[in-house]
Amino acid sequence: MKFQVSAIALGCAALMSGCGGGGGSSSSGGIEQSMTFSLPFSGTAVIGVPPATATATLQAEATSGGPVTYTSNTPDTCSVSGDKLSLLKAGECSVTATQAGYNGYAPVSRRQVLVIPKNPQKVVSFPNPGWQPVGATSVPLSASFDTGLPVTFTSKTPTVCSVSGNTLTTIGNGMCTVTANQAGTDIYATTAVDRNIPVGTELPTKLTFLSGYKDGDNTNEGGIGHWGNQWWCNECSHSASSDGSSFTFTGSFGSPPASWQYNHASFQIFGKNVMDDINVTTNKDNAYRGFLLAAGFSNPTAPTGVQVDIQGGLHFNLAQNPEWFGSSNNKFNVELILAHFNPNKVDSNNYACAVTLMATVQPTAAAATDYNISLKNQFTLSESCDLSGLDAWNELQSYPVVEIRFSAVQPNGQTASASGSYDSQFTLSGPIFFQ
């Protein structure tokens, strides 16, 4: 593990007279000699994690050219054997180099000090349990740090929530703040990480994915992709209202397509700057999500999508045409595509696979309806990209949502028969946001 040497320590090492360094003198019965000595770590000290130990070779030269011996003044922090220095733990490491007198020269010694800070710990996982009602009991908490050391939990807001072991209990309305603590060791620094959990009437910050529509191809924040003008979709159409408050997509299928043409009554909305990041300005119908996201991921410095934290639901207003709503299967899917890719799983066009969450929604009315889809309870992993150990809620908190896709579960034309044909029409009104 790497430890940064403080500027004070380096200055102390350079100015030995101010750090307790000493030197020989002619009063000791010989010619006064000088010594050059510096500890071997230039700006960075490395401490091995037990049972490993970091070592380095000490080097000092005296005017006389005589042999030099080394002594550790802080053997609990660093030890010396011959000219080998071993770093044992964080703290102050002090080493003295001595030349006992040689060839008519008096003895001389120099002391060097190296201050080694403790290594910071990094949180690997501390999933937020999300919004909780007042009176919730046995809400599990879990956290891990990169050191693998044990973690304890405490509540900073005892009037809102309490913690016993790794279990949370909510007491009153408000924002519950839970801290994951790691006490540290001789090598690792004490570390604490907070999570804010809304309780009862407390609402998390609203995260807007889109605020409105510029036209049938663009939102105020990003772009819209859709499957249109293809041989299996004779009259697919997409448009925005003149005031930019709504967007309508219609899939009108003519000749029934083959069975593999599944779910093409669909469109996808890209997050903020996703389209701009990869300079896609034309042919949005054919620039499907694998291409956009794989390319967008190659430019990680640009802000893209929306990062969910403590938000509990996806909110949108959607209407269906009465014919579709009245069909035998009027459900629709909502997919959240995350900026988590597996470069080792690619399709025939060499587009990287993106982890995807999906919720299937049973509509309650054909007319415009406000939907609040629970992020934690209704969305599940629909595409893991061959990555193991994934959890839908943890994925959502770890990677931004860069695309939202709407699709009909069973659009007209999915089967080989056109019997009971109907259009699949979506109308989105107002913003789409997480809260």
Nearest to 92 by CA among 72, 75, 112, 113: 113
Please give the pLDDT value at position 349. Answer: 62
Locus of tokens 């982890």: 355
Average pLDDT of the chain? 81
Nearest to 337 by CA among 267, 435, 277, 276: 267
Asked whether the beta carbons of 339 and 274 are under 8 A apart, the reply is no
pLDDT tens digits for range 277-326: 444 333 333 333 444 444 444 444 444 789 998 898 999 999 999 999 99
pLDDT tens digits for range 7-42: 333 333 333 333 444 444 444 578 999 999 988 876
Q: Is this prediction's pTM over 0.75?
A: no
Asked whether the beta carbons of 362 and 325 are under 8 A apart, the reply is no
Quick one: CA dihedral 282, 286, 288, 291, positive or negative? negative
Encoded tokens for 397: 């908190």
